[in-house]
Amino acid sequence: MRSVYARRTAIAGGLAALVGTLTLTGPTAQAAPPAPADAGTARTYLGQLTVAPETSMDGYSRAKFPHWITQYGQCNTREVVLKRDGQDVQQDTKCAAVSGTWYSPYDGATWHNAADVDIDHIVPLAQAWRSGASQWTTSQRQAFANDLTHSQLIAVTDRVNQAKGDKDPAQWMPPLKNYACTYAEMWVTVKHQYSLTVDQAEKTKLTAVLNGC
């Protein structure tokens, strides 16, 4: 048994040393966006949201949600979140993350190259557009797209974020089932904060998740 364990340990260590590869030794860092409302409060918030069909994508452009903006010095929103959500993150003189460890709570993967990590908008920009943000000013959309105060931004595996796209919880939930409650709480907290609408399928899914938390 010792030889098997030793071989597995050696393999895991070798993979961890490769920049940009997935670590096999488990999570070493935990993403830490601002805490959302707890399940009970989120259920209350959800009950207060307006239920309405999503509007069209007419006029939508990601450029209407300016990001990533400068937060301080040469650090933009993405770099701030990478630093916040990672462990032992080192940045160069331009604030770019050059090393560190990032654990993605969506899928349980751990990464050592910032290029493998996306900053996810919990409520995607296109989803916000269809839920009320089409009526906002550019300044309001910029604040939403760069919100470090609420549970709107999180560092996750890039391909998982890409699979999510602009889907709502009725269409997509994080692969890790044990993150469902947190994700639903974050989603509802953000939609409540920005007075965005929910459609009926979205509300039904969120209700089911929160009732199990």
pLDDT at 19: 34
The helix/strand/coil state of 201 is helix
Quickly tell me which residue has 């509802």 as its tokens: 188
- CA dist 95 and 52 (Å) reads 42
pLDDT at 30: 54
pLDDT at 49: 98
pLDDT at 95: 97
Where the chain has pLDDT below 50, the residues are 1-29
Q: How far is CA 206 from the centre of its chain?
A: 17
pLDDT digits (tens, 9 = 90+) for 77-87: 999 999 999 99
Which secondary structure element, helix H or strand E, spans residue 159, and what is its range?
Answer: helix 158-164
Pairing of strands 109-111, 117-121: unpaired
pLDDT at 42: 98
- CA dist 44 and 60 (Å) reads 30
User: What are the boundaries of each domain within the chain?
Assistant: 26-211
Q: Which of 72, 73, 75 is nearest to 83 (CA)?
A: 75
pLDDT at 149: 96
pLDDT at 32: 78
Query: Model-level pTM?
Result: 0.85
